[in-house]
Amino acid sequence: MSHAITDSATMLRRNLRRALRYPGLTVSMLAMPVLLMLLFVYVLGGALGGGIGGDIRYVDYLTPGIALMTITTSTMTAAIGVCSDLTEGIIARFRTMPISPNAVLTGRVVDSMIQTLLSVALVIAAATLMGFRPTATFPEWLAATGLVVLLTFGVTWLAIAMGLLSKNPEGASNIVMPLAYLPFLGSAFVPPDSMSGGLRWFAEHQPFTPIIETLRGLLLGTGIGTSGYWAVGWCLAMTVGGYLWARSTFRKRALEA
Amino acid sequence: MSAIADSTTMLRRNFTHSVRYAAMTLSGLLLPVLMMLMFVYIFGGAIGPAISAGTGGGVSYIDYLTPGILVMAVGAGSASTAVSVAVDMKEGIIARFRTMAISRGSVITGQVVGSTIRTLVSLALVIGVALLVGFRPAAGPVAWLGAIGLLALLILAFTWLAVAFGLVVRSAEGANMASMPMQFLPLVSSAFMAPDLMSSGIGWFAAYQPFTPIIDTLRGLLLGTPIGNSGYLAVGWCLGLTLLGFLWARSAFNRDPRR
């Protein structure tokens, strides 16, 4: 057990070092949600704000959605990274060493989680500068943080599984796109009831909408209803499904490498 | 005459690349269409009423949006040009062409013509999809000719600038970053939203940046909305950017390759 933890820590150190050595992708993944936030608050916010109803300001409505989108887009680096490792042959080299087989994936997941959670913190800081004023109490902040961590864990495993399916890093980037941009088709930017028929139905029933609504409820005190159960359920399903899928795909691909 | 034959050869090479690297070509073609669908169907319900009220109820959001998406499509097309020129520079094929009995200008001309054709296909695709989702232009044949002429001028301007970026930067990532303003400046213009609906500082910037008169002129030509002095500004910006891009690209290409 301690052997596996040590190996995972070594792999984590390797991934963090790579992120520092090749900062381009990391910086662009950090910058994109902040730029989206600026665009939606200052350029489109005037019109979109009128469509959300109630006494909630658009920057407050938007921040939970952008925080979630930060998580989904950040997973692209994990997918690209794990695919690059496979195609460059480093995995084949690791297999000849006395390393815990799961350490490569675990190191990648923990690295991705650290980077993603830092991105989310940056987005919330930027949102605060733009006027985001959450009404959450300390327990609600804890619950919101827990949900963000759980979602990051689930989505990262899912993205890694998708990255392992791809034959090259470009393909890995493309295969994760639907996952990364699915929040657009949810309640992240506008309420689903402002959308047209079929799209509205999809937006109301897709996995990220209850997660966004729960996060919004925890941070702003809006009604959560049954969204909380759905949010935790979807996060756990993504984690278990992603983990099992990633592990089985990794075994197959590692044997081919 | 040899220059034309050489340029045709380079154009053929350019098209072969487009077919061989179909993923990049397709993403360049589809991105503006996806952007349009997203703004119409996801945000249109929320933005549409504000736009309709601002234009006296006469313009639907798809009609308002399409000219802006056309300009964005030109920007997206220029990014792939910058990347392909940068890759050619990095891989040394340009240096090899310099040693051959080829008209010097043909290498760049092939890129410019190839990019222009690709972007025109992208624009046709955007207009086709826009018509399917409810775009109803009020333009007559002369107005359509004017709109096509303005778009062709804009493509020329952006393509020459993109070629210059590709020659100067010499890495695919750098070229992509350098062409970002051409892709994302339209977002902070009158493409998706009237500048007077934006917050003050951003609204001022959106009203006075180069893309706004180009988009407003295009909108005026296609929908019959007033153009005012935007037409002169639009043509002026396009000609200015074309000249800048052409001179910059030429000097970068003619520079000593060892430097």
**Residue A2 reports pLDDT greater than 90:** no
Q: Token pair for residue B162?
A: 């993109």
Percent of chain B with pLDDT over 70: 73
What distance, in Å, lies between the first and last C-alpha atoms of chain A? 26
Closest to B50 (Cβ–Cβ): which among A39, A50, A170? A50
With the CA atoms of A112, A117, A121 and A122 taken in that order, what torsion angle do they form, in degrees rounded to the nearest 10? 10
**What's residue A148's pLDDT?**
93
Least confident of A154-163, B33-42, B105-114, B122-131: B105-114
Q: What is the largest CA-CA distance in chain A?
A: 61
* Domain interval for residue A12: 2-256
**What's residue B146's pLDDT?**
93
Cβ separation of A43 and B42 shorter than 8 Å?
no
Cβ neighbours around B180 below 10 Å, total: 13
- Report the Cα A4 to chain-centroid distance in Å: 25
Closest to A14 (Cα-Cα) out of A142, A76, A104: A104
* CB neighbour burial string for B141-177, b if at least 16 within 10 angstroms, e if fewer: eebeebbeebbbbbbbbbbbbbbbbbbbbbebebbbb
Nearest chain B residue to A45 by CA distance is: B198
The number of folded domains in chain B is: 1
Contact A139, A146 (CB under 8 A): no
Q: Token pair for residue B83?
A: 């990347």
Closest to B193 (Cβ–Cβ): which among A24, A44, A195? A44
**Residue B256 reports pLDDT greater than 50:** no
Cβ-proximal residues to A20 (8 Å cutoff; 6+ apart), any chain: none
Averaged pLDDT score across all residues of chain B: 78
Q: Give how far A95 is from chain B: nearest CA, Å.
A: 32
Chain B residues within an 8 Å CB radius of A174: 23
**What's residue A239's pLDDT?**
92
Cβ separation of A45 and B42 shorter than 8 Å?
no
**What's residue A82's pLDDT?**
77
**What's residue B230's pLDDT?**
87
Interface of B with A in 185-244 (CB under 8 A): 187-188, 192-193, 197-199, 202, 206
Residue B81 lies in a domain: yes
Least confident of B34-48, B150-164, B168-182, B207-221: B168-182
Interface with B, mutate which of A43, A57, A69, A201 (most B CBs under 10 A):
A43
The number of folded domains in chain A is: 1
Instruction: Place B259 in a pLDDT band, splitting at 50, 70 and 90.
Output: very low
**Residue A67 reports pLDDT greater than 90:** yes
**What's residue B201's pLDDT?**
84
Cβ separation of A39 and B187 shorter than 8 Å?
yes
**What's residue A236's pLDDT?**
93
Of B107 and A56, more confident: A56
What radius of gyration, in Å, describes the C-alpha atoms of chain B?
19
**What's residue A84's pLDDT?**
76
Chain A residues within an 8 Å CB radius of B188: 39, 43
Cβ neighbours around B24 below 10 Å, total: 16
Residue B202 lies in a domain: yes
Residue B259 lies in a domain: no
* Domain interval for residue B175: 2-254
Q: Give how far B46 is from chain A: nearest CA, Å.
A: 5
Residue B217 lies in a domain: yes
**Residue A205 reports pLDDT greater than 60:** yes
Instruction: Place B42 in a pLDDT band, splitting at 50, 70 and 90.
Output: confident
Query: Measured between CB atoms, does B180 come within 8 Å of chain A?
Result: no
Interface of A with B in 11-30 (CB under 8 A): 24
**Residue B248 reports pLDDT greater than 80:** yes
Of B86 and B8, more confident: B86
Of A169 and B129, more confident: B129
Query: Measured between CB atoms, does B35 come within 8 Å of chain A?
Result: no
Query: Measured between CB atoms, does A47 come within 8 Å of chain B?
Result: yes
Q: Token pair for residue A166?
A: 């791809």
Interface with A, mutate which of B30, B43, B64, B169 (most A CBs under 10 A):
B43
Nearest chain B residue to A191 by CA distance is: B46
Percent of chain B with pLDDT over 90: 11
